Structure 1
Amino acid sequence: MFDHHGHTFGLCGGFGVGAPAAALVLEQLITLGATRFVTVGTAAALSPDLLPGTLVVCREALRDEGVSRHYLPPTASIRPSPDLTDHLVRTIRATRVPARSGPTWTTDAPYRETEAEVAQYGASGVLTADMEAAAVFAVAAYRAVHAAAVFAAADTLVNRRPHDTQTTQRALHAALPAAFSALLAASTAPHRGQ
């Protein structure tokens, strides 16, 4: 935790992988008074032209995990907080790292993506597969706080392009200060709500 211009910020990591771990940490931070969250992580590319190390700001998460259903009625997808996401898009653009924005497919079963699902979601414009976004957005919506997400494409489920750890790490290192800047901008700007 640290203070910056009258606002308290925190950075969490190493708490586990997947929707249940993310929801647990979010619930605990909300209990402590946190109201805005940006998750920064990795995701697998579902688009053949999405190269490793590209940053993807999540605009929508397809709910194919179990956690979000414990917070909100079932729907096909959930969206992040619009204001915070817009701030995140602007700060990510300033990093000069290749970036896009679009939907992700959230699943909490590692390595269980089928070729048919990958083809279906990729053909419909879904950019990535992740393990947390839908749950984070559902917890945030239920608790009336704000959440957004950005991923570094770490590998691909489409054409089995080799994993590029260095490029992914550089993208993550650029995403962290961008996330902080987005949180700072969102905390000082008037907002439209969830």
Structure 2
Amino acid sequence: MDRNNALTDPKKLVRVELKNAGFDIDKIKIPDRVYLLADDIFDEMVSRNVGEYRYPLGGKLYVFNKNENIGFIKGHMCSPAIATQAEDLIAGGVKELIHVGYAGGLQPELVLGEIILTDGAFNDTAVARLYGYDYDIIHSSKDLTNEIEEMITSAEILYKRGFHWTTDAGYRETWGQVMDYRDKGALCVEMEGVGLFTIANYRKCVATGIYVVSDVYLEDDWKLGWEGNDIKKAVGEIIDMIIKSIR
């Protein structure tokens, strides 16, 4: 046996977990597209009563009432966790993964509540290397990102599109790193993008990410946005956009 062959198969475990919950993976309809929503973004979607919890897959997988081929779930935090979650979802049959999360703004012109659509992430993680993707940038899926961009522009939402930085250390962004990634053109920093995009590439699926700027890095300050309404407004716009797109 090749020493590099993985001994594990996520579909084998997912099959057992679903069976234990009373589901036959070969007979149920898992959504093709799933939105992985961070923390209170997920809570806001649930509060809209637009879907129902259906399957214990990658967490609690909800299905939209108007289209059972599209679902949403609370996204896990950090690249290793969301990578494992993505493995489970893909093993269950999901083909498209869209992360909606929070990020720290790197470029000085970014403001709290700004929305960023990513073309991929500068890789500052371990999980990509372990999957054989030890590259400087792990790209999101261009066609899916273009589709989401069309949704955003149709909803008349202001946004920026470009690359960002994924780190494994959420409280260790240094001023030197911020300057370096600014020079590379990174718009923001978060902890999940590389993990998600690595698995999508590895499993021949597609993924992209939308980020709300929740804080901004300045030379002499860390500006937080949780006390105002800018973040809440941006989250509401994204939730409205997703719901409106469900047909």
CA distance in 2, matches of 1:5, 1:83: 24
The residue that corresponds to 1:96 in the other structure is: 156
Deviations 1:46-94 (A, max 9, x none): 0011111110001120110111112233110011111100011111223
Residue 202 of structure 2 is aligned to residue 139 of structure 1: no
Residue 77 of structure 2 is aligned to residue 11 of structure 1: no
**Amino acid of the residue matched to residue 236 of structure 2?**
H
The residue that corresponds to 1:171 in the other structure is: 234
Deviation at 1:177, TM superposition (A): 4.3
Deviations 1:153-194 (A, max 9, x none): 110113536322321122122223435667x69xxxxxxxxx
Residues 143 and 19 of structure 1, relative CA distance in 2, 3 Å threshold: same
- RMSD of the TM alignment (CA)? 2.1
CA distance in 1, matches of 2:134, 2:242: 29
After superposition, residues 148-167 of structure 1 pair within 5 angstroms as 148-158=208-218, 160=221, 162-165=223-226, 166-167=229-230
**Amino acid of the residue matched to residue 70 of structure 2?**
F
- Larger Rg computed on CA atoms: 2
Q: Which structure 1 segments of 5+ residues have no match? A: 186-194
TM, length-normalised to structure 1: 0.85
Preserved contact between residue 45 and residue 129 of structure 1 (Cα < 8 Å): yes
Preserved contact between residue 133 and residue 198 of structure 2 (Cα < 8 Å): no
TM, length-normalised to structure 2: 0.68
Residue 182 of structure 2 is aligned to residue 126 of structure 1: no
Preserved contact between residue 40 and residue 176 of structure 1 (Cα < 8 Å): no
Residue 128 of structure 2 is aligned to residue 65 of structure 1: no
CA distance in 2, matches of 1:123, 1:74: 21
The residue that corresponds to 2:168 in the other structure is: 108
SS in structure 2 of the partner of residue 120 of structure 1: helix
Deviations 1:7-64 (A, max 9, x none): 5222111x54211111121111111110001000000000011111110001120110
Q: Which has the higher contact order (CA 8 A, sep 6+)?
A: 1
CA distance in 2, matches of 1:95, 1:157: 29
Aligned length: 183
Residues 149 and 179 of structure 1, relative CA distance in 2, 3 Å threshold: farther
The residue that corresponds to 1:74 in the other structure is: 134
Q: Which structure 2 segments of 5+ residues have no match? A: 1-61
Residues 66 and 135 of structure 1, relative CA distance in 2, 3 Å threshold: same
CA distance in 2, matches of 1:127, 1:3: 31
CA distance in 2, matches of 1:174, 1:5: 19
CA distance in 2, matches of 1:181, 1:100: 21
CA distance in 2, matches of 1:127, 1:104: 5
